[in-house]
Amino acid sequence: MFIAHKLKKENICEYLLYMWQIEDLLRAFKLDIEVLNERIIKPYPVSDDERKALFGWYESLIEMMRLENVQIEGHLQLNKNIIAELDELHGLLLKSGQDAGYSAKFYHILPFVSQLRTQQPSVHLSDVELCFNFQYGIMLLRMKKAEITSETLQAQTEISKFMVLLARNYQLYKAGELDFDE
């Protein structure tokens, strides 16, 4: 919760990847708040009030996962909304041409994105969501200490640079510093 709040303010892309990790963590604990409490919440080095807030946060996420039927796979609606918002911003940035560096970086990674699209079972994923899926997949491979090819690492590096620009523009947009109505 504390990390999530910090990331949401500082880097929306890192926040979303973190929240996907939290979804998987909750699944690993079979959405059992008591096990999560014993293994994660109680040992967390915070005050009792903060621990109660943390318990409530995890409990609400578990409830949302059940209500939204994403206990086994998929993402919470609140996380899907962020993808949709980022995808909308992405389209506005490309259409407006306000950030030439952003557009250039996107067109630079477009061959990687096109290749990723051919490897996805769902044809309905946006370019932005494909980038997030790829980054999350790389993160999982690293956690498993799996071998990652140099070509994949190169794609990951370039897509990361694009996502940094997306996150920066998101912050500017939220702060009212980007105006697409002109």
Q: How confident is the model at residue 181, as a pLDDT? A: 72
- H or E element, residue 66: helix 48-67
- Return the residue matching tokens 């909304």: 81
Q: Is the Cβ–Cβ distance between 101 and 165 less than 8 Å? A: yes
Q: Is the Cβ–Cβ distance between 26 and 65 less than 8 Å? A: yes
pTM of the entire predicted model: 0.93
Provide the residue ranges of all domains of the chain, joining segments of one domain with +: 2-67, 82-174
Would the CA dihedral through 159, 161, 163, 166 be positive or negative?
A: negative
pLDDT tens across the length of the chain (182 residues) = 888 999 999 999 999 999 999 999 999 999 999 999 999 999 999 999 999 999 999 999 999 999 999 999 999 999 999 999 999 999 999 999 889 999 999 999 999 999 999 988 777 899 999 999 999 999 999 999 999 999 999 999 999 999 999 999 999 999 999 888 75
